[in-house]
Amino acid sequence: MKKVLLLVALFTFTMFWATPTEVKAQDIVDVAAIPPGNINTVINGDTVAGGTRANPDRIYRLKRGSVYQVTEPLKIDGNLRIIATEGTERPPVLAPAILPDNSSIDHFMQFIGADATVEINDIYMIAFRADNTALGWSDGIRIDANNIDFTLKGSIFDGFSHTVIQLNGQWCKMDVQDNVFRNNMHPSSWFGGGAFLSGAPVAQDTNMWVNNTFFCNNSYQWSDRGFDTYSVFEHNTMVYNTVNPFLIRQANKMHINNNLFYAAHAMGGNPTHVIDGWFLNYPDTASSSILRVRANDSTSFWATDVWAATMAGPEGYVDPANGITADMIVPSERVVDWQNNAFFNPQALTDFYTAYNDTTTLADSIGMPDGSKALVRRILVPNTNISEYAQWTIDNILADDGADVTVANNDIMDPGFSTEVNAQIDNLIAYVHKISTGTLDVPWYFDPN
């Protein structure tokens, strides 16, 4: 990959400069970019005995146009606020330093203090080293404490092979707006590389993602795998994603509105993936969809004739140890709000599926739901926007429960992207073909040059 991409290249289709956040507090520390590791020395060193923040209201200001080499992760027990200097230059870059033993960090920030407030604005976090080597199994930010109020705005995250944000803490508030997530992928683990992955079950107070751009990523861009009180994914643009972008099937109150999904689940899956639920599409055995929902179900065709099992809805997230009790799961109060979303798969992807399915000679022995084995051609099964099972759940169980359901104006629409954007589909198709034939070896980064 060319150096310009690895260090600071900005994709003009997705790029913007956020308006600098107004600074009202007076305790501002300007952090120098050199020597390497200075940023982690300054921030990690601003603590008292025991590791909590010595100055919890302090603001750390980074200089636009500078590159901050990080030699060890920022481990934060308490509040943190990071901003950039004013101006129109490139945001300050946080990049992994190459250590004397040729190793590097595998994550940039870890939050370990409960009840903290975190605000990060206008940074560029990149997972490529100066020698053009991508980090291994890497994260940008790990949230490992409960009740954190987390705000992320106007930032860019590039090249992470696991996920940009890993959420393990319970009852956090996520406010993620006006960011770019791109080139987050692993060369051979095709479920590696996304924007947001929460543990299961992890309850969330608020899960709000608005006006973000996701470009050339592998997997989970938005995760809601626990009891939630308010989850919003709105006005986002998602272009080129290998597998299912969402982990949402049992979400309690989800609003997914006014988004664009362009080749957002390019690897719809082969029969093994779809039948075995690799994309968490279970109990559906016909396809994996972008939008999905599941409820307590013991009566559907899938429950009675296919799997002979009861499917769980939000009640599967009851977790008394973390404050989620059975009485909090009220079917009539569930919200499924999916409106005004646009979906499109470019013709090149459709043509690839047709050509591959017409010519593949590969076959797999698959365990079927009834316990039998079947030899099935390894064709590719296109994704759907809303699966048959999800639609059945909406029309039957959720309707009977009296849930608040609005599913409308979710249409197939071509946004008419530029030639440069459209050309990137060839790299994604090559990657999907390698998944299909078991020959993965390289990632499919977008290179602006």
Range of the domain at 164: 3-24+75-81+108-437
pLDDT-above-90 percentage for the chain: 92
Distance CA 116, CA 145 (A): 9
Alpha helices in 17-168 (DSSP H): 38-45
* CB contact at 8 A, 236 and 267: no
Confidence class of residue 187 from pLDDT cuts 50, 70 and 90? confident
pLDDT at 244 over 80: yes
Q: What is the pLDDT of residue 196?
A: 99
Q: Does 134 map to a domain?
A: yes
Distance CA 352, CA 434 (A): 13
Q: Does 228 map to a domain?
A: yes
pLDDT at 6 over 50: no
Q: Does 241 map to a domain?
A: yes
3 state DSSP class of 34: coil
pLDDT at 62 over 60: yes
Q: Does 115 map to a domain?
A: yes
DSSP 443: -
pLDDT at 316 over 90: yes
pLDDT tens-digit profile of 245-259?
999 999 999 999 999
Angle formed by the axes of helices 425-437 and 347-359, nearest 10°: 20
Q: Does 327 map to a domain?
A: yes
Residues 148-174 have a mean pLDDT of: 99
User: How remote is the C-alpha of 184 from its chain's centroid?
Assistant: 9
Q: What is the pLDDT of residue 3?
A: 38
pLDDT tens-digit profile of 401-413?
999 999 999 999 9
Residues 217-235 have a mean pLDDT of: 98
122: alpha, beta or left? (left if phi > 0; alpha if psi -120 to 50): left
Q: Does 320 map to a domain?
A: yes
Number of domains within the chain: 1
Q: Does 62 map to a domain?
A: no
Across all residues in the chain, what is the average pLDDT?
A: 94
pLDDT at 2 over 80: no
pLDDT at 226 over 90: yes
Q: Is the dihedral of CA 431, 434, 438, 441 positive or negative?
A: negative
Dig out the tokens for 376 from the structure.
């099935």
Residues 286-290 have a mean pLDDT of: 97
3 state DSSP class of 92: coil
Q: Does 162 map to a domain?
A: yes
Residues 208-215 have a mean pLDDT of: 99
